[in-house]
Amino acid sequence: MKEAFRHIHGASPDGIWAAPGRVNLIGEHTDYNDGFALPIAIPQNTLVAARRRDDGRLRLHSAQGDGPVIDLDVADLNPGAVTTWGAYPAGVVWALREAGHEVGGADLHVDSTVPTGAGLSSSAALECAVALAYNDLYGLGLDAPTLARISQRAENGFAGVPCGVMDQMASACCTAGAALHLDIRAGTHEQVPFAPELEGLRLLVVDTRVKHDLGDGAYAALRAGCEQAARLLGVAALRDVSPTDLPSTHRVLPASLVPLVQHIVTENARVAESISHLRAGRVTELGPILSAGHASLRDDFRISCAESDLVVDTALAQGALGARMTGGGFGGSVIVLVDESRAQAVGAAVTAAFRSAGYRDPHLFPVSPASGARRIE
């Protein structure tokens, strides 16, 4: 990393920062409804080697992009000015300045093991690593949730993706051996111990390799649908609808919005239920909740796809405790909770099922809850 930095930027970096991707255990599409979520950080990280510059230039290079250095003037950063991967780091610098922090330029070199387009929050990892690097380079003294909000602002306001804050909170605030209980409206987060391997379990990630892209308008349409439903129901956000209100929502809402509300309300309840099981050490009880969450995303929110459904169905048929798509939807990754004695059989069955369906081989790997963003050098 240091050697590559020196080669590209001609001097040593001031430091190296890391931020992870995430999988969400439960609580999908609840973040922009002021609700609850329960993500973990995965061991795959985005590393950013950085050196402060005092001439106002922001110079970006990525080991993955393999393109030339992107050279920008921080004073000219405006939404739409950068359309490649560079929009994420440039967006963070823009968002810091927009929030009144007097930050200048830097040389950055980025290298990542977080798969892109797999629904594992590679963009949040990049944003959070850059935000933390800037926090240190410019002595800003911001805490992790504030850096997460700055990162979300970069994505919303600069890269043009109307995401919630779950991914950035996970990347910035998770700790090893725990899931992160997010209460979005309250702005609070709490670590909930979660160590599946200590219970003889595995959490597998299956990247379906169906390209997941939040910028394509479908995510924005779902978000708008939820916001419209909240307005029609006369509440600030769908978080305020309780399960007992559900049967009456069809009297107020157009038929197309009823299942969206159904998903959000039941999903918030699934987060609460999952947390009480984890706190009581009943990790296996998570299984049916994950599978119910998948059914809700497939049938009510309608954001699964044939490949994700095939992973879930195959894993459950092979004795997995639970499985569901994770992240924004329309492809990306599935998580599978499985007893370690069944993990290999589940993986083999999923790959075989993909082959017989004529799909590309999925990527499978086990994950344990890992650390959030941190300085590593």
Per-position x/- string for 20-39, each x denoting binding to ligand GLA as judged by CB under 6 A, each - no binding: ----x---xx-xx-------
Of the pair 328, 362, the CB lying nearest ligand GLA is at 328
State in angstroms the smallest separation of the CB of 328 from ligand GLA: 3
Annotation marks residue 167 as catalytic: yes
Of the pair 86, 329, the CB lying nearest ligand GLA is at 329
Does 167 help bind ligand GLA (rule: CB under 6 A)? yes
Does 324 help bind ligand GLA (rule: CB under 6 A)? no
Which segment (4-12, 95-103, 158-166, 283-291) binds ligand GLA by CB under 6 A?
158-166
Does 327 help bind ligand GLA (rule: CB under 6 A)? yes
Of the pair 115, 327, the CB lying nearest ligand GLA is at 327
Question: What residues between 123 and 152 interact with ligand GLA by CB under 6 A?
Answer: none
State in angstroms the smallest separation of the CB of 335 from ligand GLA: 13
Calpha distance 218→305 (Å, rounded): 13
Of the pair 106, 159, the CB lying nearest ligand GLA is at 159
Which segment (44-52, 161-169, 284-292, 341-349) binds ligand GLA by CB under 6 A?
161-169
* Candidate list 104, 164, 293, 362; residue touching ligand GLA; CB under 6 A: 164
Of the pair 29, 149, the CB lying nearest ligand GLA is at 29
Per-position x/- string for 203-222, each x denoting binding to ligand GLA as judged by CB under 6 A, each - no binding: -----------x--------
SS3 letters across the chain: CHHHHHHHHCCCCCEEEEEEEEEECCCCCCHHHCCEECEEEEEEEEEEEEEEECCCEEEEEECCCCCCCEEEEHHHCCCCCCCCCCHHHHHHHHHHHHCCCCCCEEEEEEEECCCCCCCCCHHHHHHHHHHHHHHHHCCCCCCHHHHHHHHHHHHHHHCCCCCCCHHHHHHHHCCCCEEEEEECCCCEEEEEECCHHHHCEEEEEEECCCCCCHHHCHHHHHHHHHHHHHHHHCCCCHHHCCHHHHHHHHHHCCCCCHHHHHHHHHHHHHHHHHHHHHHCCCHHHHHHHHHHHHHHHHHHHCCCCHHHHHHHHHHHHCCCCEEEEECCCCCCEEEEEEEHHHHHHHHHHHHHHHHHHCCCCCEEEEECCECCCEECC
Calpha distance 66→172 (Å, rounded): 26
State in angstroms the smallest separation of the CB of 4 from ligand GLA: 29
Of the pair 49, 203, the CB lying nearest ligand GLA is at 203
State in angstroms the smallest separation of the CB of 1 from ligand GLA: 27
Please identify which of the residues 31, 34, 107, 167 carries the catalytic annotation: 167
Calpha distance 28→301 (Å, rounded): 10
* Candidate list 104, 105, 328, 347; residue touching ligand GLA; CB under 6 A: 328
State in angstroms the smallest separation of the CB of 195 from ligand GLA: 23
Of the pair 31, 34, the CB lying nearest ligand GLA is at 31
Calpha distance 158→78 (Å, rounded): 7
Query: Could you list the active site residues?
Result: 167
Which residues of this protein are in contact with ligand GLA, per CB under 6 A? Answer: 24, 28-29, 31-32, 163-164, 166-167, 214, 327-328
